[in-house]
Amino acid sequence: PRRVVIVGGGLAGHTAAVTLRAAGYDGGITLLTAEPHPPYDRPPLSKELLAGTVDDTTLPTDLADLDVDLRLRCRALRLRPDAVESTGGAHRHDAVILATGSSPIGLAGASRAVHELRTVEDARRLRAALREADSVAVVGAGWVGNEVATRAAALNLKVTVVDAAPTPLARALPAALGEHLVPWFAAQGIDLRLRTLVDGVDERGVRLTDGGRVDADIVVTGIGARPDTGWLLGSGVPLSPDGAVEADATLRAGPGPVYAAGDIVRWPSRLFGARIRVEHWDHAAASARTAARNLLGHAEPYDPVPYFWSDQLGHRLQYVGHHHGADRLVLRGDPAGEDPWTALWFHGERLRAALAVDDPRGARDARRRIAEPDTRSR
């Protein structure tokens, strides 16, 4: 292709541009991003940036050195076969990489401003607000909500976490596993309210559907994110009802040379026998590398063992694989004890996924075993 347009300047868009150049592509590259900043990393936003040990998470490679035409504050509005229409005009293309990531799901019934956490501005605003506040209500005991709660508790704020589910991290982990995390909240001084539904947010804090309330100076929501793909409606790129871009095994997502990477893409995994979508850092980078190489004529199937980490509630959690469809959950070690432990999911004899708690070696071993085609339980 003479000109590749990459839409979305997050980790996936950035990695796609770097990979195209590393692979020897010397045509034009335009990178459109809605944000006012060059690409930056998001995982530190809810960790080091909130803690104040880091303020800038800009990704290290300077795209100008790679002769990438980076267009900031430029939102794509429509994909045509020959051009991307954007708030900054039309950008002609011969091939496209879609990498628009996701945006937080808003909380219904909020009559006052609540904090969300997706951008560096969100994170700086929340950091400043936490410094002024005495109490915080976090809606959603998910990955991001728990990290925020951890940080707020470390600042000695009164922290309450509210979630409708019966266990924390309920969208990611089955209840039989999530229940082992419940005592971690109290150990950090956090009041965890499960099976609790939010009715709305008002001047004093959070109203609950059972008539109760959680009074708090600030309210933070972390109830999930949705792919930013509305602009692709009518473009011919297949979208699923949840907004994901439905790609093939090479991450191609259209009749023309259109590829997708990062949070937005769902692809058929041979390893796991399912179409999967992953909203994590490692996948954003890896899928962008594959998409960029395939756009240049390779035909590599994308079939990784997904990997994700989170630092929360005094523990390092590492998740590898994909446990949907597994039929057996085995615990190694004691979740109630002080030592590292690991949960392993099997399908028949095959290891499919693992959650390692404070056990980086366990996570590494599991990742290797999941990738081996004929792994047997040992």
Residues in the site for ligand FAD, rule: CB under 6 A? 7-13, 32-35, 42-43, 45-46, 75-76, 99-102, 117-118, 144, 228, 231, 262-263, 279-282, 284, 308-310
- Distance between CA 350 and CA 373 in Å, rounded? 9
- Residues contacting residue 365 through CB under 8 Å, at least 6 positions apart: none
Nearer to ligand FAD, 33 or 342 (CB): 33
Q: CB 292 → ligand FAD: shortest distance, Å?
A: 13
Taking the CA atoms of 263, 265, 270 and 273 in sequence, report the sign of the dihedral they define. Answer: positive
Which sign does the torsion angle of CA 122, 127, 128, 131 carry?
A: positive
Nearer to ligand FAD, 94 or 279 (CB): 279
Element (H, E) at 353: strand 350-357
Token pair of 20 as six digits:
């195209």
- Please give the torsion angle defined by the CA atoms of residues 125, 129, 135 and 136, in that order, rounded to the nearest 10 degrees: -10
- Enumerate the β-bridge partners of residue 139: 162, 221
Q: What number of other Cβ atoms are within 10 A of residue 114's Cβ?
A: 17
**Token pair of 38, please?**
């060059």
CB of 232 to ligand FAD, least distance (A): 9
Closest contact distance (angstroms) between CB of 143 and ligand FAD is 6
Beta bridge partners of 161: 138, 192
The C-alpha atoms of residue 121 and residue 76 are separated, in whole angstroms, by 21
CB of 41 to ligand FAD, least distance (A): 7
DSSP state of 265: E
Q: What angle do CA 265, 353, 344 make, to 5 degrees?
A: 160
45 or 157: whose CB is closer to ligand FAD? Answer: 45
If the CB atoms of residues 5 and 326 are measured against ligand FAD, the closer one turns out to be: 5
Nearer to ligand FAD, 310 or 342 (CB): 310
Name which of 341, 355, 259, 363 is nearest 15 in CA terms: 259
Q: How far is the CB of 115 from ligand FAD (least distance, A)?
A: 11
Give the nearest distance from C-beta 281 to ligand FAD in angstroms: 3
The residue among 72 and 331 lying less far from ligand FAD, judged by its C-beta, is 72
Shortest distance, position 114 Cβ to ligand FAD, whole Å: 15
Which lies closer to ligand FAD via its Cβ, residue 12 or residue 346?
12
